[in-house]
Structure 1
Amino acid sequence: MPQIQMQTADQVRAFLDDNNPESFTLLDVRQKWEYEGDHIPGATLIPLVELPDRLHEVERDKQVIVYCASGGRSMAASNLLEGDGFPHITNMVGGIMSWNGLISFGPMELDLIGFTGKETSEEVLLKAYAMEANLQQFYLERADMAESLERIELFMELAGFEDRHKDTLFALYTKILGSEVDRDTFENAALESRGLAIEGGMAISAFLDRYPDAFDNDQGVLQLASMIEAQALDYYLRCAVRAEDEESRVVLKTLAREEKAHLKVLGKFMNKRDQ
């Protein structure tokens, strides 16, 4: 299994100085307007929200060094690359803020959502349901805090996506068990697994409490949402590979495709930075 290397901006700078540019790919996963404002010379731009559809543009036999603004989106991107079998991946801790000598905020890394590959189908679905419930709650809270009708509609639309995912997961769970399951019982069991299924290695509320100023505007919230959605996509793709039956595999791949669609919606709004 490939391992993601963590390197500081100084370590990456030394690597770039000592190696032929043809031997590696420097990948910027921020939005286009961020890249145009400032980027590391020689970097290739593929925004995180577009990466799942553009993995074929990244050369697999080269070292891939990924960076963003502060290290969160690049870690989510690194996980996607790892899950797709890329063998040599480096995440630049602290992002371009550290590269420029500024103090960066946010997480050094966002871990996978408690997936080891050894879970039963039932355990996978419980974790996935808890993940969707957490994310839905996050979107509903952001809708309550939004100051424009457009943003309220965006977060409510995203919350609706998660509601449909929850219905799909519950239906698959009952089919796998082969018996009727009370929805409340299922939800309670899923929420008990929440500690193993939290996004970014911690509950979203705890994450925001730790970094109260990092995501205090709409753009920051959208960036955080893109990290979480990318993790959900990675999770479903990994689960699909290990699914025990074809029906489960099809459902998980469908959920993965929908997460890709969510990322595109987020990307559209992230590009509306002046609104």
Structure 2
Amino acid sequence: MTPDELKNYMATHHESDFLLVDVRQPEEYGKEHIPGAKLCPIMTYVAGLYEQPGDRDLIFYCQSGGRSAAAAALAIEEKVTTRDVHYLTGGIEAWEDRTLPDFPKISIFDLSGTQEELLRTAMDLEKGALRYYDHVAKRFAGKSFAGVFSRLAEAENAHARTVYDVWCRMVDEPPPFETIFQELKGHILEGGEDLKKMLKRVISIKSDTCMILIELGLLIENAALDLYKAMADQTVDRHTKKAFLAIAQAEKAHMKILLGQIEKCAQT
């Protein structure tokens, strides 16, 4: 939901029809928030300590979209409401017209391709995510949050191996994993973002580094979750479907790893 769509929604719906939830930290909420929003820090939400009405639309927002995307994904997964679930694209930064213009989306997946092509592309996307997380971990080596991104880089390698194992069943005389992984470019991340442009954005971060990196990571993982669920729905091969669903489940675990870092961001 874009800022204009949210403004129009709020103008045309009764307050009893929806709940606007700010999933940031109390200090962020205290600095500025959308009028009428209820504060529920994301980790309170994830821990299940926040009861949501099951008969109202839920609209989540945060600083730039990452935390609210994760909250919306979890709300949909857990079926916490019979109504619609949305999140504000770009967060309060977009609401206040402060969004940076360099977070492009690219069409990278032709779901009509062969199973072999889908799997090879999936491995390429995993390499892109690995390269991104590895760069972040090395660039901020020594920071308390660097280890989180090292863990995610290792996880992307494991995902690629999972996909490779399924791919091997479909090709004659497959090369070793190390060989094919080396050949892959990894120029695009799982969520469809261009790696070079994402790295430029990382380099441009001047303040609130930890929180911005967490937000970016959540956006990547949420997009990856959507992608792998779509791929699982598309495929008819049970081994491929199982692999894609396993990775989708892992993407949710990645979101929780990133969310677990948020309270530590205030200490950096």
TM-score (norm 2): 0.74
Task: Tell me whether 1:97 sits opposite 2:113 in the alignment.
Answer: no
Counterparts of residues 105-120 of structure 1 (less than 5 Å) = 105=100, 111=105, 114-120=108-114
Residue 124 of structure 1: how far off its partner (Å): 1.9
Q: Distance in 2 between matches of 1:163 and 1:244?
A: 25
TM alignment of 1:59-70, pairs within 5 A: 65-70=59-64
Cα gap change, 1:183 to 1:258, in 2 (>3 Å): same
Deviation readout 1:160-186 (Å, 9 max, x if unpaired): 111111111111111122542354663
In structure 2, the residue matched to 1:245 is 237
Is 1:205 aligned with 2:196? yes
Percent identity, aligned pairs only, is 25
Give the equivalent residue in structure 2 for 1:228: 220
Secondary structure class of the residue paired with 1:118: coil
State how far apart, in whole Å, the 1-side matches of 2:155 and 2:206 are. Answer: 22
> Counterparts of 1:179-218 in structure 2 under 5 Å?
179-183=173-177, 186-187=180-181, 190-191=184-185, 197-199=188-190, 201-209=192-200, 212-214=203-205, 217-218=209-210
Q: Which ranges in structure 2 are unaligned for 5 or more consecutive residues?
A: none
Q: How many Å separate the matches in 2 of 1:32 and 1:239?
A: 38
Higher relative contact order (CA 8 A, sep 6+): 1
Residue 190 of structure 1 deviates from its aligned partner by: 4.2
1:143 and 1:104 mapped to 2: Cα distance? 25
Unaligned runs of at least 5 residues, structure 1: none
RMSD over aligned CA atoms reads 4.0
Structure 1 SS opposite 2:217: helix
For these two proteins, the number of residue pairs brought into alignment is 261
Q: Deviations over 1:171-227 (max 9, x none)?
A: 111112254235466336643xx56x4455442331342575347622211221111
CA contact under 8 A between 1:105 and 1:211: conserved in structure 2? no
Tell me if 1:268 matches 2:264. no
8 Å contact kept, 1:70–1:106: no
Q: Which residue of 2 aligns with 1:151?
A: 145
2:132–2:199 CA contact under 8 A, matched in 1: no
2-structure distance, mates of 1:235, 1:252? 9
Residues 191 and 227, structure 2, Cα contact 8 Å, conserved in 1: no
Shift of 1:34: 4.0
Residue identity opposite 2:204 in structure 1 = D
Aligned to 2:250: 258
1:92 offset after TM fit, Å? 3.9
CA contact (8 A) 2:127 2:156 kept: yes
Distance in 2, Cα, partners of 1:58 & 1:114 = 37
Q: Indicate yes or no: 2:120 matched with 1:129.
A: no
Mapped partners of 2:243, 2:262: distance in 1: 29
Counterpart contact for 1:139–1:159, Cα < 8 Å: yes
Match of 1:171 among 165, 181, 187: 165
Cα distance, 1:265 vs structure 2 = 0.9
Q: How does 1:1-12 map to 2 (within 5 A)?
A: 6-8=2-4, 12=6
